[in-house]
Amino acid sequence: MVSDRVRRNLASEFRSSVLAKLGVVLVLLVVFVAIFAPFVAPHNPTTQDLDNAERPPLGIVQTEERTTSEMVDGEVQTVTETVTIRPDAAHPLGTDGLGRDMLSRVIYGARTSLIVGVLGTVLAATVGVPIGLIAGYYRGRIDDGLMRFADVSLAFPSLVLAIALIGLWGRASVAVPDPFVAAGFAQEMPATFVLPGTVIVVVGVVNWVWFARIARGEALSLRDQEYVKAARALGADDGRIIAGHVLPNAITPIIVLGTVQVAAIILLESSLSFLGFSGTTLSWGFDISQGRDYVSSGQWWIAGMPGLAIMVAVIGINLIGDWLRDALDPGIQGEGGA
Amino acid sequence: MSQGRFIAKRVLQGVGVVWGVVSIVFLLRFITPGSAINAVAPLDADRETRQAIARELGLNQPLHVQYGDYLVSLLQGDMGFSYVRGQEVTTLVFSKLPATVELAVAATVVAIGLSIPLGVVSATRRNQPVDWLATLFSLAGISTPNFWLGIMLILVLAVQLGIFQTSGRAVAAVEVAAAVVGPASFVKTLRLWLAHITLPAVALGTYFTALVTRLTRSGMLDELGKPYVRAARAKGLPEAVVRYKHALRNTLIPVITVLGLQLGTLIGGAVITEAVFSWPGLGTLVIRSINLRDWPVLQGSLIVIGTSFVLVNILVDVVYSSLDPRVVND
Amino acid sequence: MPDVSAPALDDDVLVAVRDLSTRFFTEEGQINAVEGVSFEVRDNEVVGIVGESGSGKSVTALSLIDLVDSPGEITGGEVWYRDAELAEEFAGSDAVVGDHVDLRRVPATVRRSLRGSSFSMIFQDPMSSLNPSVTVGEQIAEAVEVQRRAKGNPRRTRSRTQGYGLGRLLVDAVLPSRSYTDEESHARAIKLLEQVGIPDPAERADEYPHQFSGGMLQRAMIAQALAGEPDVLIADEPTTALDVTIQAQILDILRELQESGETSVVMITHDLGVIARMCDRVGVMYAGEIVERGRLADVFDDPIHPYTQGLLGSVPDLEAPAARLQPIEGNVPSLLDREMPEGCYFADRCPKAMADCRQPVPEYDGDASEEHAVQCVLADREYDPAVALDDTDGVIDDTDSVTDDTDGATDDGVVSGE
């Protein structure tokens, strides 16, 4: 499926591009952290510790004016004192308003983002690619129908469609046992992990059109290739031709689109959880929505840290997408929005 | 084919897409959990209300009759009634639309105004510090969630430096324009407007600025390497004419296509940006109507959003066809 | 680079290229696309440069008009151009000898200002050499307009915008307006289209390149190149992309131009038939060097360099078919600096290579006349089989297989410069 020429192009582009290397490092980091979250996270991300709430990240000392009133001799006396909150080495990225460790929350948030990003993309591709291939291969009515439908679904912005669907369907989620904790490791960590099922289905549903469009375009040009014609002349049935000849040659742009889509879906998922349309509370977007209330009082890190985490993950994936695009040059640019 | 006929064709296609949008929204009633009445009636409606609604919507009628009635009432500008709010949906939705349009236009103006010059400079000074900075900015820009960017902008520029307002919309752009001739102080109105709209427009526009910068840069590099550019230089054209009249024009053609395709992202972005800045537009309306289970308003908003998308794309195609003669002639 | 002291040039020499070198600095290494090339263009003369693809002939043409793009760079040599006004402007500097000015020693802005009016160029593929989204008439009118503005305000000719506002340019980029050119230039553009034999020129001027046939487009390209009334018209493979019948028409147009005394022509081609039909003088290029040059008759009737002989031999001759058809074995070398052999680059493919061919070969005068120059030891002495270059050493060794491997890569580098 991947020819030597493709492999050579990938390798030489990788060697010459600093950004491609950076992308791979960032993505590997996020993937590692997401998989081994129970071992990497210093605390249970859901454990509250109100005595340790609103602690700033390392290197930052927060001062806060606290006003207390008490009755002294029948009169109200207001005492204003400046409280200094120092960082705690146990919480390198600080703690949130309920004293939960930000670093651990960011680490567990990576799991949600990656799972939704990858499963959502796989779902979108599984739906979109076959439909696109069939439409492009047979052309005619099926193709017209698909293109008209694609035009209509593009008229609904992904985010709007997603929140509408979640609003109508409700937000179901599944608690999946954490395999490491179940196997007896890291017992202090959460025993289950919440998989936001509706969100995964919805982001898949709203993004399949991009895959269908790409697959259709490829199938349209591939159906007239000599080897496809030859296979047809030899009497191979259409299903076999599409699976055996068209799909393998259309795979490159689909992979590049898939990469970009993972990034787009991570952004979409964070938007959904920010707006409260996710089924889980362990998510970067959700933490940002929590942290938003603290922005005016100065605890910027509660919203800031998860946002930086999103940037790291999405920049990494986009860099890999650029690398693949430069090396494979499938001629798609800027398609596949969030 | 003349340009007029091309536009007429696109408008016809657009009507078809709007019809599709309307039909899908109609079908949304039936994928709502429970009966289709749930899609219209408020959650706490009593039996009589529900029956009244069912009669009014003709839910006991065959599907195609319901669909026909629905289309007819839409054509009359009637998008239903919000029992939750006790208001006509059409009135409600169109009262919120201007704020969203204003925000989206402001973001687009910011994006196009910054990105095209940045992309051109980046391409013509390839591998120089300006290019690196632009590349870095555009990479970060397409990778930053706009709601988070909005919060960080509020933190620094509104809360800490106090230059801008954290939320809300005090005056409409129309009022700023009116202040030029009206009794209100123009400068004061303008300032008030800028204080409110700047941050949401920047938060919403950053993704597009970054995206278009990338597209312009790579497109410009592509075009500058083409034979017609060399031929244009060979005939003695000044470099500025070669770059802007020839290369930039051809660069913009695909950029415009992508912008049209990404318009949905802009509208989706507006929804969430409005949520961050409490901007009283369609986005805020959509989210509130979902939380209130006010389905008629949600459906009306979806129709308006889908239709605006189609309208703007027709506009984009008109611009496109005047830039690229091949579209019209082929 | 040897410092060639200023030579005395004949009055009828319009352009004299001396020892010109152009290199491409690519990731694979340095490519010597043009190496020490010298030739002359006289008034009202057609000079042909012939060679296989990848021989550097197109880069030579681009170097002449200073249009070599990065990563290419003209690294040495002189281009003497006869222009009394320029000579006066730079009088006293070593860039001037008589009425001739060495363009390599004047500022780049001056070289740029000569494009269109002194040198202009037509390209191999007219379809990609015209902007697809601008009408043909407008593109020709631009070429007229540049010169019109230059005459109107000579001091601004060398600036980046030629005094044309950047803001207006940006508007031009978006609107299909004609604000850069004026009506006068458009009228002239239509005249030019008529001159090159395009029917209904007024209507066709408003059409876009994709509405033209290949032959008509090449005519339009010629019209565009003539807009500035250039002294030298460089034609880079002007007929390669065209049908045979249309090739003849295009060549006729170029021939008429030259006969009308308006311009000299530098004809770059791989087609010996075109050379034989069109040229007064010819240079044969191989691996970045001009290996043999002189009057057409001298070179074609009495070729000395075995490469020229081989090239002429590979042209099918209708009178005596099989007898003269003998393609040259082997490939054009890679032109990668680190892979270039010492001495003659053709030695590995040469049927008459001798031991001396591994030494640097000077340029000898040919027998026929002093204007016939050959870069081959055979101009100096007879072939002696006793000192023949060892086959196993020369033809089938390691460097040769490396050469074959990198051929594709080199083609990319050089062809993009063509």
Domains of chain B listed by start with CATH number: 98-278 (1.10.3720.10)
Spatial contact of B126 and B221, defined as CB atoms under 8 Å apart: yes
Chains that touch C (3 or more CB pairs under 8 A): B
Distance separating alpha carbons of residues C283 and C35, to the nearest angstrom: 14
pLDDT above 80 (res A284): yes
DSSP per residue over B270-306, as a string?
HHHHHHHHT--SHHHHHHHHHHTT-HHHHHHHHHHHH
DSSP per residue over C1-53, as a string?
----PPPP--TTEEEEEEEEEEEEEETTEEEEEEEEEEEEEETT-EEEEE--T
C324 versus A76: which is more confidently predicted? Answer: A76
Question: Per-residue pLDDT tens for C317-364?
Answer: 545 444 444 557 777 777 888 878 888 888 888 888 888 888 888 777
Residue C22 identity (one-letter amino acid): T
Residue of B nearest to C68 (CA): B230
Q: Flag whether C258 is in a domain.
A: yes
Which residues of chain B lie closer than 8 angstroms to A288, CB-CB?
A: 145, 147-148, 151
C158 versus B3: which is more confidently predicted? Answer: B3
Going by pLDDT thresholds of 50, 70 and 90, the confidence category of residue B33 is: low
| pLDDT for res C162 | 61
Comparing A68-72, A83-87, C221-225, C299-303, the range with the smallest average pLDDT is A68-72
| pLDDT for res C235 | 92
| pLDDT for res A6 | 80
| pLDDT for res B206 | 94
Q: Where are the alpha helices (DSSP H) in C45-125?
A: 57-64, 84-89, 108-113
| pLDDT for res C403 | 39
> If you average pLDDT over residues A282-296, what whole number do you get?
92
| pLDDT for res B142 | 93
Query: Among partner residues A274, A288, A337, which is closest to B264 by beta-carbon distance?
Result: A337
| pLDDT for res A10 | 87
| pLDDT for res C160 | 60
Q: Flag whether C195 is in a domain.
A: no
C403: Cβ–Cβ under 8 A, 6 or more apart, which residues?
C331, C333, C334, C339
Would you tell me which residues 134-153 of chain A have a C-beta closer than 8 angstroms to some C-beta of chain B? Answer: 148-149, 151-153
Question: Per-residue pLDDT tens for B225-236?
Answer: 899 999 999 988
If phi over 0 gives left and psi between -120 and 50 gives alpha, with beta otherwise, what is residue B221? alpha
Q: How many CB atoms lie within 10 A of CB A63?
A: 9
Going by pLDDT thresholds of 50, 70 and 90, the confidence category of residue C406 is: very low
Name the packing angle between helices A284-291 and A102-138 (round to 10°): 130
Q: Flag whether C209 is in a domain.
A: no
DSSP A156: S
pLDDT above 90 (res C414): no
pLDDT above 70 (res C369): no
Q: What CATH number does the domain containing C390 carry?
A: 3.40.50.300
Interface check for B225 against chain C (CB to CB < 8 A): the answer is yes
Going by pLDDT thresholds of 50, 70 and 90, the confidence category of residue C20 is: very high
Q: Flag whether C37 is in a domain.
A: yes
Q: Flag whether C276 is in a domain.
A: yes
Which of C51, C59, C67, C65 has the alpha carbon at shortest distance from C22?
A: C59
Contact C161 B238 (CB under 8 A): yes
Going by pLDDT thresholds of 50, 70 and 90, the confidence category of residue B175 is: confident
Max intra-chain CA distance, chain B: 82
Burial B257-282 (b: 16+ CB within 10 A, else e): bbbbbbbbbbbbbbbbbbbbbebbbb
Tell me how far apart the terminal alpha carbons of chain C are, to the nearest angstrom. 24
| pLDDT for res B83 | 77
**Taking the C-alpha atoms of B161, B164, B166 and B170 in order, what is their torsion angle to the nearest 10 degrees?**
160
Here the contacts of C213-217 (C-beta below 8 Å, separation 24 or greater) are C214/C126, C214/C127, C214/C241, C214/C242, C214/C243, C214/C246, C215/C242, C215/C243, C215/C246, C215/C249, C215/C250, C217/C126, C217/C127, C217/C130, C217/C136
DSSP A101: B
Contact C143 B329 (CB under 8 A): no
Distance separating alpha carbons of residues A142 and A139, to the nearest angstrom: 6
- Substitution target in B12, B143, B215, B258 with the highest count of A β-carbons within 10 Å is B143
**Taking the C-alpha atoms of A66, A71, A72 and A78 in order, what is their torsion angle to the nearest 10 degrees?**
30
Question: Chains A and B: how many Cβ contacts under 8 Å?
Answer: 162
Q: Is A169 helix (H, G, I), strand (E, B) or coil?
A: helix
Tokens read off for A116: 């939704």
A44: Cβ–Cβ under 8 A, 6 or more apart, which residues?
A104, A188, A189, A190
C138 versus A63: which is more confidently predicted? Answer: C138
Tell me how many domains chain C contains: 1
Spatial contact of C276 and C300, defined as CB atoms under 8 Å apart: yes
What's the whole-number average pLDDT of chain C? 80
Measure C4 CA to nearest chain B CA, in Å: 28
Comparing A55-69, B235-249, C71-85, C228-242, the range with the smallest average pLDDT is A55-69
Query: Among partner residues A160, A311, A334, which is closest to B140 by beta-carbon distance?
Result: A311
Domain that holds residue C24: 1-118+230-418
Question: Per-residue pLDDT tens for C189-215?
Answer: 999 999 888 999 999 998 999 999 988
C263: exposed, middle or buried (Cβ count in 10 Å: 0-12, 13-18, 19+): buried
Q: Flag whether C369 is in a domain.
A: yes
pLDDT above 70 (res C176): no
Q: Which residue has the tokens 């007229």?
A: C144
Whole-model pTM over 0.80: yes
Query: Among partner residues B147, B211, B309, which is closest to A274 by beta-carbon distance?
Result: B147
Q: Flag whether C155 is in a domain.
A: no
Distance separating alpha carbons of residues A158 and A199, to the nearest angstrom: 12
pLDDT above 70 (res B220): yes
Percent of chain C with pLDDT over 90: 23
